[in-house]
Structure 1
């Protein structure tokens, strides 16, 4: 059993969501080793007792369980498969849990390479944004061997409330693609509804009181529409990362010979925003498409 007394946890990637997630594990009493490309992002964790590592290699050498929450599949590949990466230096029996939204095919590759070294690799992307990470209420979608999932489930329970084992390696990432596809079209609907309310001369905040609890209700409508109205476009989830996710989903859909017109439209709108310098804004900045 992976208890605070016998387990050192590593956490790689302490950005908007990763910092909160790592903090929950630290608060649970686990010894925590952290690495991020920008050390300043880990300053709060270090002040609270986490130990800094200069490379993923150092994390692999110190920790028995390692969480990763980085930006892009290229980052995942570097962290796991690079010369100073986790698989090159990880200990047999370790558990590697990648919570980055990444390509399902890469998750399978990491699993296969890890298995050769006696390491358990799990893909466990999340949904819930900065709020879910901060409140430990993330949805966690897990792919990998079920026995490995059950071993780390108690740790995942410090991070989320909806933890579902989806199946074989890569299944967690495929499930996250389903999540992102649903969000993509929904965000268009949320923005259009708010803009429509404004143009009709309604009080949008009052409109939200009616529609958030009805059939139109969604997480984005309840959590992101108020941010739009308040002019708050700070990232709970970056546009640049959402574009990355949508591209992965489109590529996977093409492999399955599936047409995704709603997803393609959403990506095209977000691409336009990114070209206008909004790539580091939160996904709710799609609202600006109608305002610019």
Structure 2
């Protein structure tokens, strides 16, 4: 089965199944919504918010670097499933994330521009990162889908067409849900925004205290076991930026291989998982 369907590893059935389960979970909450009290809905909605950040930084992220299927139609279909689940185009995320790896949290040039759309330095001052809470809660509103689509069309027209299709289907999907029960969509919107903010918070501490000028120190790692087990080794973020095509299951092995070099390069490591990076004991030093 793996030889026919999966491109890299039988372990990729795990993110595939979890990605399908995530969409099924959203639909289950939609079907149950008319009978849910506020006391039951709000905990489910908060789990939904957390699951968005989890998916973006695990299932969706690993899919960008190592597409799960050999067949391109299956990859396109899974990309659409992620788009419906997360509320944005996976193809656009792919493009933005590749720019992130090209810039690696670069600092603004003389015109205030960064190659990396997601750079924590883009809206900072005096060469320093932006305040974490501004970055967390404002990043969502700074995205310009039209600009991203134009850049995609100029460089990757096929991916731009995929993105437009995903956006059209996603908008149609949520409009259909709104026609059936507009209250569900209205109640879920703020929790979707919260999920995107949690992802930005995660991304901030994946790089806060890193060194944009040293490849071995582009990212910030955490080796918290529970986080890495549940977020598919996303904690090995410095390793990932150094070798982004290495499969997620191989990250601990890569770390063991380059640990001495990382130490000499001053690669930053934090104790808590990235979403709780503000709790790190050395936070004031950076």
Please give the range of the TM-score, normalised by the shorter of the 2 chains.
Answer: under 0.3
Q: Which has the higher contact order (CA 8 A, sep 6+)?
A: 2
Report the structure, 1 or 2, having the larger helix content. 2
* Greater strand fraction, Structure 1 or Structure 2: 1
Task: Give TM-score scaled by structure 2 length.
Answer: 0.27
- TM-score (norm: length of structure 1): 0.27
